[in-house]
Structure formats: C-alpha cells, structure tokens
Amino acid sequence: MSPLPLPPAWSGALPKATPPAEMTLHQLPTGTYVTRAAFAFRGGKFRDKRDFASTAVLVQHPEGDLLIDAGFSSEVADHIKLLPRFVQSPFTQRGTVDEQLTAAGYDRSRLQGVVVTHSHWDHVSGVSDLSLPIWMNEGELQYAAKDSDGKVFREISPGHRIRHYDFPGPAYLGFPSSYDVYGDGSVVIALAGGHTTGSVIVFVTLPTGNRYAFIGDLAWQLDALRLRVDRPLMLRLLADTDPKLVRQGLLRMLALTDRMQIVPSHDVSAYDGIPLLTAH
C-alpha cells in the first residue's frame, strides 16, 4: 500500500486571528457506532472494530455561541432505520446535546445555531431535539434536498430555520474560499467539498493560541492522516461526491498537521484535550 505523497509542511504564517479572551471550546460526545477499520481508511484491517464518534462541539463567543454538528438525538434509533440496511450498525448512546446543555445549566439564549459540516445523518440527527437555526451553504442545501444520504436531514429539518451563508472571504490555508463568522478570525468556515457538494471545514482559534480544524468527514479516522491514506476505493466511490477533491483536501490538511489539532468527526481520540461541558 503506497501512501499519498507527503506535501510540504505549511511554511507561511497562519491566518491572523484575534479571538476574545472569553472564548471557549467544549466537546459534547453523544455516542458512537461501530465500523470496521477496513471500511474507514485504506489498509485498515477487517478485524479491527472502531467506535465512530458522533460528537458535537460548542464554541462559546461573546457575540453568540455556535454548535459544530449536533451528534445523536433522542430519536437516533428511528433515524438509523431510515438508512439503507447495509450501513446500519450497532450504536451506543450517551446524553444528547440537548440533555448536556440542560445538565450544565447552559443559557440557551446564547446559541445562534448549528453549523453542520455536512448533512449526513450522524452530523444532523441531534438537531431534531434543538430549536435552533441550521447554518448551511447553498451547495450543501442542494445536496441535502436531493441525495439519498440527505434523507435524515429532510426528516428533521422541517420547522428549523435555515441560516444561509456563503463564502465571501479569500482562500484560507489552501482552500479556495472562506467565511469569517465573527470577523475576528476565531471561527472560519472553509469550503472543502468532495465528500458532499458543500461539505466544510471549521477552523477555530482560541485565545490561548491553540488552533483546531474540524474537518467533518474529509477523513473518518486520524489513522488516515498518520498513514497518509484516503478511503478504500469502494468507499470513495460510494461515500464521496468527488473523491479527487477529497484527496486534495486531505493533502492540504496533511500540510497542517504540525500547526493545529486536526479533528476528523468520527475519531474519538481526535477530541482529546477539548474539555467537556460542565455545570457553570
């Protein structure tokens, strides 16, 4: 198995960011489901079972908070039944985002919405428990409206306001266009595409200087980055709208591995170091 070519490490300055001192980041793990490594990345073993994370991330910012993805909902079992039988797998539930916010005594008036990295079931299920706008770009909305993998999104989205955004900003760390959510560089959404039409990466910079890249399903496991491999061929054809574009995005992230914490949505260990949300 030949790895992908090693791209040159990012040598330039990272984009300027001036996050406010009060800004924080928390993970909200809502559960896992079982997938074999052989299906997750090229060279993975069939006997190696992986617990795929379904975790939301809460960005707290003085100008209003955002969730990145929404994890499992209280109705996740019903959502999984909407999937083709061959992709259904055993799952384990933890507290939903809604339950974790309540347990922490979180002030929900601060939440502006859910930025979904893309519209697949394991990223949007938890929206059904939340009375929040869904932040999506036009390319992803069109994908979710028509593609078979948007079925759960179409089930849960009625009654939720869609907060449209586009990408008026310049290229960002190799990705062609961007949206600076707060105007201070602390949260920047970059159009990645390839996995779905409008799939995105959310870059977060904290006042500590720590940087994160929440890459959605550009890769499913950190092993894809460690080994410099993409998905197995069959999964590239089944799961990605443009496998070549996914590979381009993966190479861009490989160039940044020493500059920030890269978080594939479904790798449990990728969230290490990001604190849980606890009672205020």
Single-letter amino acid, residue 57: V
Q: Which DSSP letter does residue 238 get?
A: H
Among 122, 55, 70, 91, which residue's Cα sits nearest to residue 270? 55
Q: Dump pLDDT digits (tens) for 155-173.
A: 999 999 999 999 999 999 9
Among 275, 279, 280, 207, which residue's Cα sits nearest to residue 25? 275
Among 216, 203, 222, 189, which residue's Cα sits nearest to residue 124? 216
Q: Dump pLDDT digits (tens) for 221-278.
A: 999 999 999 999 999 999 999 999 999 999 999 999 999 999 999 999 999 999 999 9
Sheet holding 49-60: strands in order across?
Answer: 91-93, 24-36, 49-60, 65-68, 111-115, 134-136, 162-164
pTM above 0.85, yes or no: yes
Per DSSP (E only), the strands in 39-124 are 49-60, 65-68, 91-93, 111-115
Strands 178-180 and 187-191: antiparallel
Query: How many Cβ atoms from other residues are within 10 Å of residue 29's Cβ?
Result: 20
Average pLDDT over residues 94-115: 97
Work out the mean pLDDT of the chain and round it to a whole number: 97
Strands 178-180 and 162-164: unpaired
CA 239 to chain CA centroid, nearest Å: 15
Q: Dump pLDDT digits (tens) for 135-149.
A: 999 999 999 999 999
